[in-house]
């Protein structure tokens, strides 16, 4: 079964042709980083306009690379939630047009489910149930993956996501957007114990995250030093900050895994490309005899291959959408399990 998948939830316009869920025939991504870097972050209106400008070309290139025509495609898949609403609507509108004109079924895919599914591409032997840490610019979740289309969120952020925190700290340290990669690079040359930053906790929510206080602590450190004329070593701050984030993410994930009885652990989302997070989680899993599954680096960020992979399982589960499909800016994975989400 060949699925043409479209992803446009934020600042990447992507299209992939995926066969039987795990065979990637093409995976085209048009990034907008250079444009948004001028403003220090994603500007939603600009993102939407740039999606509209290049989506036709991206889809055409994906078909060409896969040596396919629309006649060879069995279904159309698209990210419909969560994300920037204007950006989502560009991809959804294009996918609906393709589905209507070709008579192919339309499969709506949850963006976070797609990130989780990226692991099936890199690890075809991975089978639910397992526990997955999802970390990206907009999301920080600990998720029970009960089967390929059913999820239970056991931990989530109450404020900033880890990826957002990386970018804001990076901007404070003078790095360009997107800052996560610069923090990761700088941390390799810094002292990870040079500074002690807080490990915020959420009362009554053992596995939930809060990164706002950590972000504020780093920003205050830098601003106070500037006001006093003191010089700080950026690499030391980056290394200490990244170590703290890793300790929080890995500590809560391991606690949840032990409490819930999981020995297979997944990692997903844009921040899953961070070398510190990957290393810390692997070390923690190895110490406990857990098996860790991580996507290849090319499938960590937003891409359409992961959407096509998840769409395959959604299709088998009978999930379809009609021409009334709309974008949803915020939609928890728990809503999918409850049969909600506007479908």
Are 187 and 235 spatial neighbours (Cβ–Cβ below 8 Å)?
yes
Q: H-helix or E-strand containing 146?
A: strand 140-147
Distance CA 40, CA 249 (A): 25
pTM listed for this prediction: 0.94
Residue 334: pLDDT above 90? no
Are 22 and 11 spatial neighbours (Cβ–Cβ below 8 Å)?
no
Q: Does 46 reside within a domain?
A: yes
- C-alpha dihedral sign at 220, 166, 81, 133: negative
pLDDT digits (tens, 9 = 90+) for 149-200: 999 999 999 999 999 999 999 999 999 988 999 999 999 999 999 999 999 8
Q: Does 342 reside within a domain?
A: no
- Domain shared by 274 and 135, yes or no: yes
Are 157 and 209 spatial neighbours (Cβ–Cβ below 8 Å)?
yes
CATH of the domain at 79: 3.30.420.40
Q: Does 123 reside within a domain?
A: no
Q: What is the mean pLDDT of residues 327-332?
A: 94
Per-residue confidence band for 328, with pLDDT thresholds at 50, 70 and 90: very high
pLDDT digits (tens, 9 = 90+) for 107-124: 999 999 999 999 999 999
- Domain shared by 280 and 235, yes or no: yes
- At residue 335, the pLDDT reads 74
Among residues of the chain, what percentage have pLDDT more than 70? Answer: 98
Residue 51: pLDDT above 80? yes
Boundaries of domain holding 175 = 128-297
As for how many domains the chain has, the answer is 2
- Domain shared by 154 and 293, yes or no: yes
CA dihedral 251, 219, 273, 341 (to 10 degrees): 80
Q: Does 343 reside within a domain?
A: no
């Amino acid at each position: 079964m060949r699925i043409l998948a479209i992803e446009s939830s934020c600042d990447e316009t992507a299209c992939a042709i995926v066969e039987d869920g795990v065979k990637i025939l093409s995976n085209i991504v048009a990034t907008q980083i250079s444009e948004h870097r001028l403003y220090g972050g994603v500007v939603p209106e600009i993102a939407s306009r740039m999606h509209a400008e290049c989506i036709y070309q991206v889809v055409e290139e994906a078909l060409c690379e896969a040596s396919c025509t629309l006649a060879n495609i069995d279904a159309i898949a698209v990210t419909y939630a969560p994300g920037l609403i204007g950006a989502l609507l560009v991809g959804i509108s294009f996918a609906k047009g393709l589905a209507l004109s070709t008579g192919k079924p339309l499969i709506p895919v949850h963006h976070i489910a797609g990130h989780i599914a990226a692991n099936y591409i890199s690890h075809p032997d991975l089978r639910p149930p397992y526990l997955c840490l999802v970390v990206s610019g907009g999301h920080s979740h600990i998720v029970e993956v009960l089967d390929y289309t059913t999820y239970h969120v056991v931990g989530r952020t109450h404020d900033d996501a880890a990826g957002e925190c990386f970018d804001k700290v990076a901007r404070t340290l003078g790095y360009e957007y997107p800052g996560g990669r610069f923090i990761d690079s700088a941390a390799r040359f810094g002292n990870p114990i040079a500074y002690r930053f807080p490990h915020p906790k959420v009362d009554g929510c053992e596995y939930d995250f809060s990164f706002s206080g950590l972000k504020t602590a780093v920003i205050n450190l830098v601003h106070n030093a500037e006001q006093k004329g003191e010089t700080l070593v950026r690499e030391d701050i980056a290394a200490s900050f990244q170590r703290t984030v890793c300790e929080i993410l890995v500590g809560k994930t391991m606690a949840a895994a032990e409490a819930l009885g999981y020995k297979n652990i997944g990692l997903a989302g844009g921040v899953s490309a961070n070398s510190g997070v990957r290393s810390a989680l692997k070390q923690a899993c190895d110490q406990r005899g857990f098996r860790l599954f991580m996507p290849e680096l090319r499938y960590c960020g937003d891409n359409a291959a992961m959407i096509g992979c998840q769409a395959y399982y959604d299709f088998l589960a009978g999930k379809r959408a009609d021409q009334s499909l709309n974008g949803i800016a915020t939609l928890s994975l728990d809503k999918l399990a409850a049969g909600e989400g506007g479908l």
